[in-house]
Amino acid sequence: MDKYDVIGLLGEGSFGRVYKAKQHSDGNFVALKVISKRGRSAKELKGLRKECEIQRYLHHPNIIQMLDSFETENEIVVITEFAQRELNYILGKEGYLSEERVQAIVWDLISALYYLHSHRVLHRDLKPQNILLDGNSVAKLCDFGFARNMSTGTHVLTSIKGTPLYMAPELIEEQPYDHNADLWSLGCIIYELLVGAPPFCTSSILNLIRLIRHEQIKWPTWISENCISFLKGLLQKNPEKRLTWPEILNHPFVKGHVLITEDTPTMPLTRTLSENTLQRKEQQRNELKSGSKKPESNNSRTSQNSRTSTIKLVEEEEETASTEKKKSVEMQAKARCDIKLDFHEDSQPIESEEWVVFLQKTIEEIMNKEVGCLLQSGSTNILVNPLRNVNASPRVLGFVANLFALPLIVDIDVEQLEQIKKVYLEVKLVPNLVYATKLLTTRFSSSSRSSSLSTRKSPEDLTYEDLHALEQIFLLICHLVYLDNQFLVQFSDSLAVLNVSTLFQQFLSLVKRKVKIVTDLISILTQVLRKSPENHEVVSRVVMDLDFVSLLRNNDALLRERTCYLLLFLGKSCMKIVKGFWTISCRETLEALMYDSIENVRNAAELAVEELKDCDFYKSSDNTEKE
């Protein structure tokens, strides 16, 4: 940093801060991007270094040049050339630009994109915020945080990257994609420069998905025929119908104005594909769709894991395990195999405030009974994504849970509700909610932020926002497991698959801080025992150390009532577990509740006593008292 004089802050975001600075050596202005290492995993840091590595070797007048980079103990610092203005700022100030100004910017962007694709680099996050203009109004691409260098032999990708407003339909559909996705994003930017808004613009993510999928683009009437033709070529919803690079270079809107540098190779992404290459590309696309091939596979295991962090499903038991335990493990393994609970954990930065705005608008739509987008798994799955993002704030998680709960309480059409239930099952909403509780209550160290979980937060460490999000999540799970037995099965399986018994024990200790979490969790566990007693083992692991006497004596009437029912079904399904904690005090407290001031509690206690009084553990406590 001794080589630079920092002049002032240019901007900041989830990545870090950008400063304007002056070089001592020549007095030229530069931009310093300072990224904190704190709170980032080894995987995230590797991704940041990869971004630097990609940008270091990019040398084109329309791409922000990286000049240097270095690391301190706590920061990564990237030095790039300085550009005066952000295109997004100009748009915000002027609203839209003339076709003449837009055309000059398009020439620059096409030049930059052709250079990237010639080097097999996909940008994957083209938007006005990532386009800068220098003092001569030359446009330059920046921010290669989502960029991907496609290895030879890789023809399509699968990981969802980008900003929803500029995201290609194939990404929205979660289909394999290639460099054509960048061309769609470029078309959206050009459209916005001319009109003042992207072709599909709404504050609701669900509505945006619907528009991108199904709505026709409204073409402006005040721009030239060549410009319209170029835009229509880029904004084809079918990527196979978009303009190819040879067609782009020869299109009259840009022909003769694309800057191709001497070091620009002619690679398959920018030339007409041979018949053999087309066949290999289609084969790879079909393999990825069917799941018969690992997505985005490179030679290294690290690159395979860069997109997903698949949860280990079954831990091997010791050879000395009892026959009963072996059978249980085999049953759980079979269930896990059946439901295929693969969690694609995401460690990319998430703009929490933007998500909250989107979610709030979508909630308003659902309150008005506009639930169309929840009827499709693709759009619903995008809203599930924050539940497995390690960077999602508790506030976002709470809003996501609230949104998914609304169709269950808003008076909507019965057929629509049935379809929404099917979609929730298809996207495995309940297992993802359980997974969110695991991420939410995990303390991540700076060296393990994504796939390797660090230490568990104690109940005392949970913040108010943590507790509020947990409350919303468990309320939704409670609604779902009582709504349909398939949700119940998914919940039981996810408890086993995700190995969260100890975590859920902690949740049951939150009585003094958030009693609603405890009452809902007890209700969920009771429903498991009631409807699928064969899954009693996963419940018994959660409740084995529970202080039932304290729960039965709690001031909260609903908690007392639900604890009675939990005891009742525990006694029916797993007497050995009950026998382990049953005492005279437990029996006396339960019987005392038969005279509780609250009718529901009295009824629950009477039913529990009636069902349990003939059990051996209950009789044994009676005999002990007589002795």
Residue 67 belongs to domain with CATH number? 3.30.200.20
What residues are labeled active site? 125
Phi, psi dihedrals of residue 290, rounded to the nearest 5°: -85, -10
133 and 38 belong to one structural domain: no
User: Is 118 a domain residue?
Assistant: yes
Cα distance between residue 619 and residue 621, in whole Å: 5
- Residue 13, strand partner residues: 16
pLDDT band at 609, cuts 50/70/90? very high
Average pLDDT over residues 49-60: 84
51 and 112 belong to one structural domain: no
73 and 116 belong to one structural domain: no
Other Cβ atoms within 10 Å of 559 Cβ, number: 22
Of 247, 278, 309, which residue sits at a domain end? 278
Cα distance between residue 174 and residue 176, in whole Å: 7
The CA distances from residue 383 to 356, 415, 437, 450, 454, in Å, are: 11, 22, 16, 20, 26
CB 503 within 8 A of CB 441: yes
Question: Cβ neighbours of residue 603 under 8 Å, at least 6 residues apart?
Answer: none
User: Is 271 a domain residue?
Assistant: yes
Q: What is the pLDDT of residues 567-580, one digit of tens each?
A: 999 998 878 888 88
61 and 92 belong to one structural domain: no
110 and 171 belong to one structural domain: yes
Cα distance between residue 529 and residue 531, in whole Å: 6
Cα distance between residue 59 and residue 67, in whole Å: 10
Cα distance between residue 478 and residue 476, in whole Å: 5
Of 44, 66, 81, which residue sits at a domain end? 81
34 and 109 belong to one structural domain: no
Give the H/E segment covering residue 379: helix 377-384
Residues annotated within the binding site for ATP are 33
Give the H/E segment covering residue 479: helix 464-483
Give the H/E segment covering residue 552: helix 548-552
Q: Residue 178 CA to chain centroid, in angstroms? A: 22
User: Is 74 a domain residue?
Assistant: yes
54 and 94 belong to one structural domain: no
Tokens encoding 600: 């529901």
User: Is 491 a domain residue?
Assistant: no
User: Is 428 a domain residue?
Assistant: no
235 and 151 belong to one structural domain: yes
The length of the chain in residues reads: 627
Question: Cβ neighbours of residue 318 under 8 Å, at least 6 residues apart?
Answer: none
CATH number reported for the structural domain that contains residue 157 in this entry: 1.10.510.10
Which of the two residues, 144 and 236, has the higher pLDDT score?
Answer: 236
Tokens encoding 377: 């798994």
Other Cβ atoms within 10 Å of 283 Cβ, number: 12
Hey, is 86 helix, strand or coil?
strand
pLDDT at 282 > cutoff 90: no
CB 604 within 8 A of CB 557: no
Which of the two residues, 62 and 39, has the higher pLDDT score?
Answer: 62
Tokens encoding 111: 């030049």
Instruction: List own/partner pairs for 155-160 with CB under 8 A and 24 or more apart.
Output: 155/277, 155/280, 155/281, 155/284, 155/285, 156/281, 156/284, 156/285, 156/288, 157/122, 157/295, 157/296, 158/288, 158/295, 158/296, 158/307, 159/295, 159/296, 159/306, 159/307, 160/382, 160/385
Average pLDDT over residues 34-44: 76
Other Cβ atoms within 10 Å of 206 Cβ, number: 25
22 and 40 belong to one structural domain: yes
Which of the two residues, 373 and 581, has the higher pLDDT score?
Answer: 581
110 and 242 belong to one structural domain: yes
Cα distance between residue 491 and residue 181, in whole Å: 37
Q: What is the pLDDT of residues 488-543, one digit of tens each?
A: 989 988 887 788 888 999 999 999 999 999 999 999 999 999 998 888 888 988 99
User: Is 584 a domain residue?
Assistant: no
User: Is 242 a domain residue?
Assistant: yes
b (16+ CB within 10 A) / e for 3-29: ebeeeeebeeeebbebbbbbbeeeeee
133 and 36 belong to one structural domain: no
Question: Residue 11 sits in which domain range?
Answer: 4-81
CB 271 within 8 A of CB 246: yes
Which of these ranges, 36-45, 152-161, 329-338, has the smallest mean pLDDT?
Answer: 329-338
Domain count along the chain: 2
Question: Cβ neighbours of residue 541 under 8 Å, at least 6 residues apart?
Answer: 501
Residues annotated within the binding site are 33
Q: What is the pLDDT of residues 228-240, one digit of tens each?
A: 999 999 999 999 9
Of 278, 297, 314, which residue sits at a domain end? 278
49 and 128 belong to one structural domain: no
User: Is 336 a domain residue?
Assistant: no
Between the ranges 114-123, 140-149, 295-304, where is the mean pLDDT highest? 114-123
